[in-house]
Structure 1
């Protein structure tokens, strides 16, 4: 019995000592100093400055966010301090400890109390109303009895009627005021509830902490950086293009729309935006052998007919690879399976299918595979909200060569277009752009990916002071042997209502044939086609006609600039011309 008592006492003393030791472990939240936002995640770094004694010690960093990725936590310190290990832990708490949530809870409780009081007052008023109705009925019945016996004159009846009407109106007004008050309070509670739900979205009443085991050789204050990934963070690039044609300049405002619902506010942080993939995986996947065997040709043809060549399938293949790479060594089997399916497709597909698939993969890799990081100037604040916040990435003054584009075969409108040079040190990712010309909004567009030193084209809306009209002047047909020859004469009139001369690029086209069964020739054109070497090397060979025009000022109606051209099509007289649309069989 004595031994048992001693054992219980020893266990109790050990527990008390452990509790006391835990209570002595310093705990701090630190301060969020820098954040890198990726697509769907963010890398958050907290800086903790603390005095720790030489030797081994523990440190608790508390109030970690709900959307934290526990396996991503790591810590770094100065030279005289070493982080031996970092452990993540969770513990249940009775209430949300954040000040903002507590304030909302107090407001909600106050509104609920007001609603309860108003509803009780409304019930009491209802009881008074019922008593008034009974008293009114009794009074009217008594008055009717007195009137029938001749005991009541007109004056008391008038006074009684006025009293009943007055009291009834008072009760009605009080009821309506209370009902309006209750409705307003309930709307206020709904708004407060929504705000609270946004704050605690995806969060449970759980406290999250990182326990750091640290060894120190010095005795001075140490700075520790604790970093971790969080979900619920994203950013998307967008642009404003502000054109000034008179100065041959376009201001490119490169912005980002950022939002985060990680569960913690980023207050006064150094913010970076990145397109990289934060895999947190160090080891490469292991390539396994691939066994092959012979199969039924009919089965192979069936697989080929499946057509694994679309943009959707190519994108799914790339996304599956990315998703599995993030899993590290645990996804080795899935990565090898994806590789086997990809190689099997290459073994069985035809040349055209392979080219299409390769083109899709190359395009996706070019637009989505590039990895860039933008360091934003200054310090920014991003609260944990579903709201989006616009931040500036860069402002670029780009030299622009403006020209007017007329394509009357497609539209009667003439558009202003510019070739711009990205002469900055910033890569421009593909994204939506708002287009402005001389301070006026002209529409929306989309920017392609533009690398440093690359030239790109952007449209700046319709110029209503320039007009174009295309018409078929004449069509002649003659038979020559077994062939039919059609001749088409076109006239295009260009009107310039401006008081200054302008340069314009006029585009039209000839039909194209894949074989010699149709002979198509440009007979004449006045003026001549563009002499631009790049145009002659590329678009001209595909049947595109281009004229580089200079329109004098105020050239309209009979003074309009005129372009004329003729072409012939020669083909079997027993056949008809049929357009071949891309991707369709005739």
Structure 2
């Protein structure tokens, strides 16, 4: 009997100890790094947990509901010799806690609505005053009754009434205009605040869902374990932006590369190591496979919508102790335990602290993409607001050339022809152009790969003068009987180089193109002499579509006058379209 009692007493504490050991251990983790792609981000969290010998479940709580389960990756190292057995994610629902930003916006909206109600009350008072003025006017202007004994107002009374009415109505109209302006301003402010509130409430509402990631760990001994959790989440993106500054004396373009980052993932990134990647994981790892295009006879008793393409796929929900192919157990490194779930996106280890004095990113290039590790820690809130971060600044040798179309606009536009001499691609984005430190234009840049040549439009430059005038235009009859008709045009284009350096100027003019054999276009001069088929100068070319292109090298202060003269002949009884 005493033996049974002793065994019972021993069983209860052991069961209690086992239950305590099996209880999940929450990790107090922080976001330390984020790699942003064009359509998603990989977030890295780190945290430390104390483990006892044996098996334990470690949890990362309140992660974004949009977390992609198949992208989970876990690694760890510490004083505890541990093996990560498996990892899984599940969705949990909790009541939304009060968000300070939501509360602040709600308070601001309430204050503005209070102002709007006050303005509305004042508007009602103005309406009442205007009604009262109308009653006073009617009462004074009304004819007196026989019983009242009153007389009609005299001239002075009428004058006083008109003065009172004019002053009162003018004052009311002025106040009403000011009231309307205040109302519009308050309504615009309320609209902006409500838009921000909608964006925040899209992240947090009543019954908000989260993901909880549970990592099952087996520890051979008690000790600490530093865990790193990585996962992909939608709602983040970045786009490139550029500042292009021409260094004319150096014949070079200084191109500053920026990343415009935004995120609405449900988590604020505060002081994280930020990396921008040009990879596009959303496109997959290879070219898509064509399905089968089936053509068949449609059954007469029903209508079936046919599609020429078919897509199939699968999605694993849980992954236990297997590699990415789902075939063999993982073998953790003795010094570093890790478990990864991936779709081809690599989770980078938490980078070392980067000196923030240089606002230039570190570039890692691969065969298909480049990653820019931003120098300074970044803070990007989950409010979808844009944030501009510096990537790098490169200096590219440039071949400068001015282009003009005097027929359409008497302005010379500067272009720089450069080669991407870097090891990374320049993604498509907007370009702010500066001549020196003066902003001149905004243009666009297409994606440029390493060693690829491209053109940068640098905007108008008034230092190259361009003028075009019509010297003559006259029509005359031709032939002995006047059966023909000839229209002769003469233009003069004047180019002036006001710069201190020799500049290449390219300009174009149009020559009419005949679509009928009865219409004949002839060059008269000086093009007929200078652009003959035998000895055409290199600075002028005639293209098939009727364009004449001049390529001139103008010396400092040089002025050139280029004349263009041509005629269009046709039978007098033929109506010709397109003539100016």
**TM-score normalized with structure 2 length:** 0.60
Q: Which moved more, 1:401-410 or 1:461-470?
A: 461-470
- 1:158-197 equivalent positions in 2, closer than 5 A: none
- 1:185-584 equivalent positions in 2, closer than 5 A: 199-204=200-205, 205-215=208-218, 222-279=225-282, 287-292=290-295, 328-329=313-314, 372-378=369-375, 379-475=377-473, 477=476, 479=478, 486-498=487-499, 502-513=503-514, 518-525=519-526, 531=538, 540-554=543-557, 560-570=559-569, 574-578=573-577
Equivalent residues of 1:374, 1:393 under 8 A apart = no
Equivalent residues of 2:413, 2:458 under 8 A apart = yes
Equivalent residues of 1:54, 1:219 under 8 A apart = yes
- 1:11-50 equivalent positions in 2, closer than 5 A: 20-21=20-21, 24-50=23-49
Equivalent residues of 1:428, 1:449 under 8 A apart = yes
1:441 Cα offset (Å): 0.9
1:77 Cα offset (Å): 5.2
Equivalent residues of 1:250, 1:400 under 8 A apart = yes
Give the gaps of 5 or more residues in structure 1: 1-11, 113-187, 296-316, 331-369, 581-586
**SS of equivalent residue, structure 1 residue 258:** strand
Q: Determine the structure 2 residue equivalent to 1:179.
A: none
In structure 1, distance between residues paired with 2:488 and 2:190? 77
**SS of equivalent residue, structure 2 residue 544:** helix
CA spacing shift, 1:236–1:477, aligned 2, 3 Å: farther
1:218 Cα offset (Å): 7.7
Aligned length in residues: 422
Equivalent residues of 1:108, 1:189 under 8 A apart = no
**TM-score normalized with structure 1 length:** 0.59
Equivalent residues of 1:530, 1:547 under 8 A apart = no
Q: Which moved more, 1:259-268 or 1:208-217?
A: 208-217
CA spacing shift, 1:431–1:108, aligned 2, 3 Å: closer
1:28 Cα offset (Å): 0.7
In structure 1, distance between residues paired with 2:221 and 2:13? 33
**SS of equivalent residue, structure 2 residue 281:** coil
Equivalent residues of 2:477, 2:485 under 8 A apart = yes
1:563 Cα offset (Å): 0.3
1:16 Cα offset (Å): 8.1
The answer to which structure has the higher helix fraction is 1
Deviation readout 1:495-548 (Å, 9 max, x if unpaired): 34556654422221223356766554544446667627xx96xx8233322222
- Cα RMSD, aligned residues only: 4.9
1:439 Cα offset (Å): 0.7
